[in-house]
Amino acid sequence: MSTILVTGGAGYIGSHVVQQLSERGERVVVLDNLVSGFADAVRGAELVVGNVGDQALVSRLLTEHKVDAVMHFAAHTVVPESVRDPLKYYGNNTCNTRNLLACCVEAGVDRFIFSSTAAVYGTPAGGVADEDTPLQPINPYGSSKLMSEMMLRDLGTAGAMRYVILRYFNVAGCDPLGRIGQSTPNATLLLKVACEHAVGKRPGLAIFGTDYDTPDGTGIRDYIHVEDLAAAHLRALDHLRTDGESLTLNCGYGHGYSVREVIDTVRRVSGAALQVTEQPRRAGDPPMLIARADRLRQRLGWTPRHDDLEFIVRTALAWERHLAARDAAR
């Protein structure tokens, strides 16, 4: 039986994908350095603690486990940090991806699913992007991911790789059964921060930028539930296993919510009196970013199950309450 190597599989998105893969009977090995991931989030798979940039380790895993496909999540993902420390992002996100791809080529692994980002579009005209929108990242995080996309494209042209690049918009929510979730300390994702505040983990909540050219002045994003995103990865794997062509696909719902709308939903669902302050814009944040994701539905037969902001908030809030109860019991 073949094996799937999942890099960063102990992290937020990767762990949800690993869980879905395991539930359908796939053999999975996870490579994660646990800097931002958690060993107990890896369910139904073998965990190897190590770095994607360790070519000797990666080559051994590909060979020993008879890996036939790689899903690559391991990356730094915080936009403001990438602006402050760009070389950290080019080193981890770009150079380590190059090393991983080299190991795949040497081992003859030619199916690759890549965790990319809508940040490759920068600030698209009208705030809406399809897969053919010009690629103009406005922060090092987006640039570091775009460079990896370019390497994959060139490997595909050379005949050494077939791939699916999935460009995530704003990923949110947690496993509806409460088994795993977003546990990253000092997270910067809006919904995570808002839910942490709602359960008392943070003293307040900030809106960064209230003067954007949007209906309520705050940024607008396309929020996709992590379970729907994970399901897209399984569809991508099936596509490559049936000799499907290389694809680049947006992952979103095709509509957006403003920062204020998200906060209001957290306030309503939690019943908490949120303390919200207004701060200047952060560097590297576009005013609006919404997906045109028709191609994902058409090419992979993907249909979202959780396209509802209140449901997304409920699952995220349930996870924060679980974490708070666990911490209180320690």
Active site residues: 141
* CA dist., res. 135 & res. 124, Å (int): 9
Find the radius of gyration of the CA atoms of the chain: 19
Q: Which candidate, 214, 204, 175, 304, places its Cα nearest to that of 263? A: 204
Reduced to 3 states, what is the DSSP secondary structure of residue 253? coil
Q: Which candidate, 193, 153, 151, 190, places its Cα nearest to that of 171? A: 190
Long-range residue pairs from 238-246, CB within 8 A, at least 24 positions apart, any chain: 239/164, 239/299, 239/300, 240/69, 240/111, 240/113, 240/162, 240/163, 240/164, 241/69, 241/111, 244/162, 245/162, 246/152, 246/153, 246/156, 246/161, 246/162, 246/163, 246/164
* CA dist., res. 237 & res. 181, Å (int): 23
Q: What is the largest CA-CA distance in the chain?
A: 57
End-to-end Cα spacing for the chain: 41
Positive or negative: CA dihedral 53, 56, 59, 63 = negative
Give the strand pairing for 3-7 and 67-72.
Answer: parallel
| DSSP string computed for 264-302 | HHHHHHH-----EEEEPPPTT--SEEEE--HHHHHHH--
Backbone phi, then psi, for 223, in 5-degree steps? -95, 125
